[in-house]
Structure 1
């Protein structure tokens, strides 16, 4: 190719980067890294075979080593909690007495819920801060939060 073959590798790498913008798989980006490695090799060496070997080794290395960790990092995020599970651990203040025989309406996360004590023998006094431990149907089972002593 007469010493200018690095330009072909550079062009191939640029096209792969542009194509990656449409696929978002990170596969074409890893192949682009191999092409760029071939371009860098082409600047210093006048052997197309050596350039292709370097490009292939770098691309395979990127696909096998770098891509899995990048994909794991990109796909790992906060867990989305939906439904009643999102209410577990929420706290509210009891507006009235809560007992197994006397449920109370409690505002949890902006919604009204029927609340009963998680321990059926417990009586929760008005003004007590409670925490949701379980949701069964439309009933929130709560337990008082211990006051911190300073």
Structure 2
């Protein structure tokens, strides 16, 4: 065991840290693995054990301090692309059959939808443009 260079041990450590990264999907293990690779580089350049451990700690902590908050921000963001009924909210439609509080028909995104007015006292006549505010089941709520 004494014949193996320190940089090899650092690479073995990096590989060992990569295993829980894959199994648990915790990115912190990947950051520690990168720190171990940095330690291997320092060992390969001929620095002592203290320098190797310090580089490992500094690189690992720096990655956790910088990358982790960025990753958390990205995971908290909603997707920019709205799909399904979410994509229909805010779209304009054309009234095909009179729409009031009890129902009617509109043409929305090239399809014919049942619709009803958000305000039950309002009515929209054929050919009038309306805005979709919500989708409830297969019914568009319009204003």
Q: Same fold (TM over 0.5)?
A: yes
Correspondence 1:20 to 2:47: no
Q: Which residue of 1 aligns with 2:51?
A: 50
Distance in 2 (alpha carbons) for counterparts of 1:137 and 1:77: 23
What is the count of residue pairs matched by the alignment? 141
Higher mean C-alpha deviation, range 31-40 or range 71-80: 71-80
Q: Which stretches in structure 2 are left out of the alignment for 5+ residues? A: none
The 8 Å contact of residues 94 and 106 in structure 1, kept in 2 or not, is answered as: yes
TM-score, length of structure 2 as denominator length? 0.72
Q: Which residue of 2 aligns with 1:146?
A: none
TM-score, length of structure 1 as denominator length? 0.69
CA RMSD of aligned residues (A): 3.5
Shift of 1:126: 0.9
Shift of 1:140: 4.6
Distance in 2 (alpha carbons) for counterparts of 1:64 and 1:117: 49
SS at match of 1:88: coil
Higher mean C-alpha deviation, range 76-85 or range 34-43: 76-85
Q: Which residue of 2 aligns with 1:127?
A: 127
SS at match of 2:96: coil
Distance in 1 (alpha carbons) for counterparts of 2:71 and 2:136: 40
Q: Which stretches in structure 1 are left out of the alignment for 5+ residues? A: 144-150
SS at match of 1:94: strand
